[in-house]
Amino acid sequence: MRTIANVFASLILFIALIFVITSCGRDVAQNAGYSWPRWRGPNGDGISKETGWDPMALARGAKILWNVNVGNGYSNIAIQNSRIYTLGVLLDEAQVAFQCLHAGTGKVIWRHLVPEDFMSPQSTPAIDGDRVYGLTYDGILLCLRAANGKVLWKKNLEGDFKAKPNQHGWALSPVVVGNLLLLNANSTGIALDKKTGDLVWSVADSKPSATYGSFASTVVGGPMDSKIALFLGPGTLSGVEVRSGKTLWSYLHGTPSHPVADPIAYENKVFLQLDEWCTLLEIGGTGPKVLWQNPSLCGALPTPVLVNGYLYGTNCPPEDIGQWDSWGVMSRFAMPFRCVDWTTGKVVWEKTMKSSTLMAADGKLIILELNGMLHIVEATPSSYRELSQADVFAGQNKPRAFATPPVLCNGRIYCRNYAGDLICIDVSK
């Protein structure tokens, strides 16, 4: 009997072990298969390579896995190894919190309070190995240990590097390239040693205009041995060799207001979305050449995405921008969401929506309207083809100021509003 009992116990233990191993395997596959380590994803283009998700999932309503308040702000999330990193103002603390949460549950793993700042952050963290970098509204740049939030170094853009402040606070997101941390610090492009925060090189906007400043982030393109950093300043777009800090070319864009959207680089061309017009530049041996310029995609809104030769994004006429004085007012405006031919600048189709942010994955657009309506749409120039949609709050009476782009990672879509609600929606197959 004892032998039979021992065999039975061993069998139960074996089955339990197999269950644990299988469950862990599923968790790794679901939670760690893809990453979104920085603003606009791995390549800074708003596009994910993820395919194992269900674009029809929203047709059944938003399946909300969790909703956690991370504090006021516009900071998006960065995800790696089943961990989410973001910033927000915790109202009960009246301080900015740099936070790490579990991607599957929303449980807070660690928080680091930044007592020097209590304004709503606008910048998205960047993860690099065992480090994570973040920037506050007032320009405090932090490097923390990703595992536990320990401060490794801290700098101030204005105090340490004499960067000219923006009228509406710092919004750029840091970008890691090799051993450098790149920052489009308003009228100055800055490269820091990512391990120490020490200045390696800087370049000035050749002709900064008298505007609010620049809110765009650095965009990097080109092969590893000749990477070019694009710094979109208040007056000038500059192409800078990452390795040396040498300015290779510049383009005076002349916008009367402040750049918000990042440049989009593809092959030897660069697209700029500005307040009153958009422009496609060809970068050649003699410098930038304007291929086309028109108002097809303009406005102080987040960056469009480029999919298979077509741009997708919200167009906001400049006359509407001047009427914004609150999210409540802005939410009443209908704005055309457009598909624009990359080569010609021609509007191919448009769909009336509220102000929208977006990303793309597997030939689909994931569009989040200001009012919290989430849409999954085919990325095709033929017409607007919606696959599914849902209210991210599932009808709850909550703040409707979704100005931060959605993020798809490992079968989940994350949406964050200004009031700090971070909602995780299951779209797995």
- Predicted pLDDT of residue 299: 82
- Predicted pLDDT of residue 31: 42
- Rounded mean pLDDT of 106-124? 95
Buried b (16+ CB within 10 A) or exposed e, 327-356: beebeeeebbbbbbebeebebbbbbebbbb
**Is residue 252 a contact partner of residue 269, using CB atoms and an 8 Å limit?**
no
> Greater confidence, 420 or 14?
420
- Is the per-residue pLDDT at 240 higher than 70? yes
**Is residue 220 a contact partner of residue 242, using CB atoms and an 8 Å limit?**
yes
Residues 174-221: tens digit of each pLDDT: 999 999 999 999 989 999 999 999 999 999 887 765 566 899 999 998
Q: How buried is residue 386: exposed, middle or buried, by Cβ count under 10 Å (0-12/13-18/19+)?
A: middle
CATH of span 75-170: 2.40.10.480
Q: In CATH terms, are 41-72+301-429 and 75-170 the same topology?
A: yes
Rounded Cα distance, 406 and 403, in Å: 9
Closest CA to 333 of 310, 311, 316: 316
Rounded Cα distance, 142 and 170, in Å: 14
Residues 6+ apart with CB under 8 A from 92: none
Amino acid (1-letter code) at residue 76: N
Could you tell me the two tokens for 187? Answer: 């009228």
pTM (two decimals): 0.90
Rounded Cα distance, 392 and 64, in Å: 8
Rounded Cα distance, 60 and 52, in Å: 18
- Is the per-residue pLDDT at 404 higher than 80? yes
- Is the per-residue pLDDT at 170 higher than 60? yes
> Greater confidence, 31 or 107?
107
Segment among 224-228, 245-249, 305-309, 310-314 with least mean pLDDT: 224-228
- The total of other beta-carbon atoms located within 10 Å of residue 16's CB is 10
Q: CA–CA distance from 94 to each of 113, 118, 244, 287, 328 (Å)?
A: 10, 6, 41, 48, 24
Rounded Cα distance, 95 and 254, in Å: 37
What DSSP line would sit under 253-308, residue for residue?
---SS---SPPEEETTEEEEE-SS-EEEEEEETTEEEEEEEESSS-SSS---EEET
- Residue 2, SS3 per DSSP: helix
- The domain ranges of the chain are 41-72+301-429, 75-170
Predicted confidence band at 328 (pLDDT cuts at 50, 70, 90)? low
Architecture of 41-72+301-429 per CATH?
Beta Barrel (2.40)
Could you tell me the two tokens for 235? Answer: 């007056």
Residues 22-81: tens digit of each pLDDT: 333 333 334 458 999 999 999 999 999 999 999 999 999 999 999 999 999 999 999 999
Rounded Cα distance, 143 and 194, in Å: 8
- The total of other beta-carbon atoms located within 10 Å of residue 257's CB is 17
Could you tell me the two tokens for 57? Answer: 């999932």
Rounded Cα distance, 404 and 171, in Å: 12
